[in-house]
Amino acid sequence: MSKPNRRKIRTFALLLCIITFTTFLFSYTLRDPSVYFFKYASRLSDSFFAKGPCACRQCVTELEDDPWFAERFNQSIHPLMTRENSVLSDETFKWWQWLQSERHPANFSGVVEELFRVIPDEVLYMDASPERCRTCAVVGNSGNLMGSKYGSLIDSSDFIIRMNQAPTAGFEEDVGTRTTHHVMYPESAKDLDINTSLVLIPFKTLDLQWIISALTTGTIKHTYVPVMSQIKANKDKVMIYSPTFFKYVYESWLEGHGRYPSTGFLTLLLAIHICDKVNVFGFGADQYGNWHHYWEDNTLSGAFRHTGVHDGDYEYNVTLLLADKHKIQMFKGR
């Protein structure tokens, strides 16, 4: 084929693309002139290319494309506790009680009953459908966020999930301003604003008693360390990480590595189960290989390698694998 001919074909193909696209755009606009096409261009292109179980371009839960993921992912296990799913198998209860070796636990089912008199008993976020495209930002606490300027990207997500002490004030440019969900346990708790959901990870029956107390009478002041006796948080937006899901994360995703999963890893799996698209920020070490919090000055406090009871390397490997398989997108900062 001679060169001018090939160019002609290329031009023709390009023309065809343009015509198809403008026809699509035009007919879409005519059908619903109120659509703010350009504002939602990315959403629209997401649904235009949709072929799977959600309305995003690619959905976390497309199972057929990856056997490694399909083998581990189990959608029927709900990440958040309800009265109904709070009944634990003996095996799960034993495992969960062993996490922090609680000596004299209170009556679990009694505590759960009291808990759901204080916080709502709802099935949340299990509304996956071909029409839903829920984007989530999971924001870890790594120093690699410093100077990253991810703030506006993070803020543009539907859900923004932070954990433990994570502050935003003073770090907005790098970590954003909004928080829809804040994951914590009693020993890492902090006050939240009225629009943020508190997601409690319980490690023992006392942790469930603590959240009841912290939202009401404030009588529990100590677990294995002193804890906040009262917490500012919207009672109607408190959620409990399910012990059954906790065990599933440990067994299915970590294959029993470490004593139990870290808050970061538990939060990541929560997001994978309730979101259609997961962007991950602030995980892993910084550019110098140091592990520290973005709000702590590395040069003053000294970098630490905080793995402790967690197998940080194994968790990070699984996280990278999830990224390789396009289940999550990692933003590695600097």
Ligand X SMILES: *[C@@H]1O[C@H](CO)[C@@H](O)[C@H](O)[C@H]1NC(C)=O
Distance of alpha carbon 233 from alpha carbon 246, whole angstroms: 23
| 293 assigned ligand-binding residue | yes
Which residue out of 260, 273, 292, 314 is catalytically annotated? 260
According to DSSP, the residues that pair with 218 across neighbouring strands are none
Residues contacting 64, CB < 8 A, separation 6+:
70
The yes or no reply on residue 50 touching ligand X (CB under 6 A) is no
DSSP 272-299: HHH-SEEEEES-S--TTS-B-BTTS-HH
Distance of alpha carbon 273 from alpha carbon 289, whole angstroms: 30
The yes or no reply on residue 317 touching ligand X (CB under 6 A) is yes
Interacting span for ligand X (CB under 6 A) from 71-79, 116-124, 234-242, 282-290: 71-79
Interacting span for ligand X (CB under 6 A) from 46-54, 107-115, 135-143, 146-154: 107-115
Distance of alpha carbon 168 from alpha carbon 11, whole angstroms: 50
310 annotated active-site: yes
Distance of alpha carbon 219 from alpha carbon 72, whole angstroms: 41
For the chain, the first-to-last Cα distance in angstroms comes to: 49
The yes or no reply on residue 110 touching ligand X (CB under 6 A) is yes
- Within the chain, residue ranges assigned H as helices are 3-31, 41-48, 67-72, 90-99, 108-118, 151-155, 172-175, 205-215, 243-248, 263-274, 298-301, 312-324
Selected binder of ligand X within 10, 313, 324, 325 (CB under 6 A) = 313
The yes or no reply on residue 23 touching ligand X (CB under 6 A) is no
The yes or no reply on residue 127 touching ligand X (CB under 6 A) is no
| 224 assigned ligand-binding residue | yes
Shortest CB 1 distance to ligand X, Å: 45
The yes or no reply on residue 113 touching ligand X (CB under 6 A) is yes
Looking at beta carbons only, is 294 or 314 nearer to ligand X? 314
Q: Identify the residue whose tokens are 């550019």.
A: 287
Which residue out of 181, 182, 273, 310 is catalytically annotated? 310
DSSP percent split of the chain into helix, strand, coil, nearest 5: 40, 10, 50
The yes or no reply on residue 107 touching ligand X (CB under 6 A) is yes
Shortest CB 255 distance to ligand X, Å: 10
Shortest CB 285 distance to ligand X, Å: 14
Interacting span for ligand X (CB under 6 A) from 137-145, 204-212, 228-236, 309-317: 309-317
Query: Total residues at the site for ligand X (CB under 6 A)?
Result: 13
Residue positions forming the annotated binding site for substrate: 100, 141, 164, 224, 260, 264, 284, 293, 310
Residues that bind ligand X (CB under 6 A): 74, 76-77, 107, 109-110, 113, 193-195, 313-314, 317
Q: Which residues are marked as active site?
A: 260, 310
